[in-house]
Amino acid sequence: MLKIRVIPVLLFAGSGLVKTRRFGDSRYVGDPLNAIRIFNEKNVDELVLFDITASATGKGPNYDLIRECAGECFMPLAYGGGVAKVEHMERLFSLGVEKVIVNTAAHGDLAWIREAVQQFGSQSIVLGVDVKKGFMGGYHPTVDRGTRKAKVALNDHLRACQEAGFGEVLINCVHTDGMQQGYDERLIRMLAPQIRVPFIICGGAGEVGHLRTAIAGGADAVAGGSIFVLHGKHRAVLITYPDQASLAEAFAGLSLGMRREDVSAMH
């Protein structure tokens, strides 16, 4: 049976960690190296680092900071932010990053992604999509940190990127980000049959029960920020991660393989 992955997501702007709400209201929450050291002790499945300023500035990844983070990280590390060409990926892999996440640069010519897949393998290249719920209830991909609607429909974008060879898809929900009221279950159920590769959902988790609901709804893995770095109604900074017994209880009776078949049958 495949293990259900529970993945903390750390956002940084400059050299400091931040946490957002609906991709805005950015709040400083500490030092990334300190957070990584704590997660090392908690047997975290994987870790995602996002530089939320890299694409906007056009400077590309902050290799010095990534080198420091990778050097401290004992679990598989994925990085996203400003990745726009094969050379970026090559350097990130050389620093110890195991997966790279491409978001903004996936909106356009995907020939370079096909080249990267041939060179590094699809398992190391993840598609990131920032999805926003519209006023009429539909969903669309966004760019520029959720502030601008992309020119392509969500299902068309997912289909083209999977055909290009992306090995995983990480969906970030703009409208639930940081709210800790649960994932967008309707979106998960809608996307599960469309995504043929491992499907990670992020945005909205506030308790362990939300993680189970997302997996039961069709996600292959769950990711989150606030649930792992903030605590209580006053949102005090506390780096934490559920113990294995709590996760085993939360996911009891769920199987990823059976789950995907069941979700497909529902549609």
The residues annotated with a catalytic role in the active site are 130
Contacts of 256 (CB under 8 A, 6+ apart): 1, 2, 4, 215, 220
Secondary structure (3-state) at 78: strand
CB distance 102 to 113 below 8 Å? yes
Please check whether residue 98 is in contact with residue 122, taking contact to mean a CB–CB distance below 8 angstroms.
no
Cα 44–chain centre separation: 15
**Local structure of residue 38 (DSSP, 8 states):** H
Q: Tell me what percent of the chain is helix, strand and coil, each rounded to the nearest 5.
A: 35, 25, 35
List, as one string, the DSSP characters of 161-207: HHHHT-SEEEEEETTTTTT-S---HHHHHHHTTT--S-EEEES---S
Within 10 angstroms of residue 101's Cβ, the number of other Cβ atoms is 23
